[in-house]
Amino acid sequence: MNKLKKKKCHICKVKFSYYNSTQAVCSPVCALKLVQQKNEKAYDKETKRLKESIKTRADWLNGAQTAFNAYIRVRDRNEPCISCGTTKPVQYCAGHYFTRGGHPELRFSEQNVHKQCNKNCNLELSGNIAAYRVNLIKKIGVEAMDWLEGPHALQNLTIEDAKEIKQYYRDKTKHLKGEIEFMT
């Protein structure tokens, strides 16, 4: 006589006897739940795949920019506005010295982007660039400034590049936040 083997139901975790080794669940009720679970997972995966497949290069670059800017905000958390020097509790942004439109090759340059007050300097004074320049030289030094204001090769960033940049800055921000937490 065959002794029945037992295993744990994949859904309800109850031990059950099975005849067929491919049987993963204890009952028709759990079998139904298993199918639903698999369908939901497949659905989520497919939705994600579809969403990503319709993303354009510009979408991916925007995603990378969001991750990059988030890093700048954490890096400069204790800095004043690069242009006017305010430390008031106003809204701050990651302000580009050379604009993204004018110098797309510098849109992900850490030397080119610094914490800035959003309303006054970024928006109303279009970056408040003269003051930005003075304080930027103080912050990064003459050499880095020369590099920044020098010629730059055009980058033709692909979707894959944008994905890598996004991941790189997500990791970098996470790492930095971990260090900050450790220090405080």
Among 60, 71, 72, 83, binds Zn ion (CB under 5 A): 83
Nearest CA to 115 among 142, 144, 78, 140? 78
Tokens of 172: 């970098």
Stretch that binds Zn ion, among 7-15, 51-59, 100-108, 155-163 (CB under 5 A): 7-15
Nearest CA to 64 among 183, 160, 140? 160
Number of residues that bind Zn ion (CB under 5 A): 11
Stretch that binds Zn ion, among 37-45, 81-89, 97-105, 170-178 (CB under 5 A): 81-89
- Which residue, 72 or 157, is less far from Zn ion as judged by CB? 72
| Alpha-carbon torsion, ordered 149, 150, 151, 154, to 10 deg | -50
Helices (H), 113-157: 129-140, 142-149
Asked if 12 touches Zn ion (CB under 5 A), the answer is: yes
Among 64, 67, 81, 162, binds Zn ion (CB under 5 A): 81
DSSP 8-state symbol, 105: G
Interface positions, 94-153, toward Zn ion (CB under 5 A): 117, 120-121
Q: Which residues bind Zn ion (CB under 5 A)?
A: 9, 11-12, 26, 30, 81, 83-84, 117, 120-121
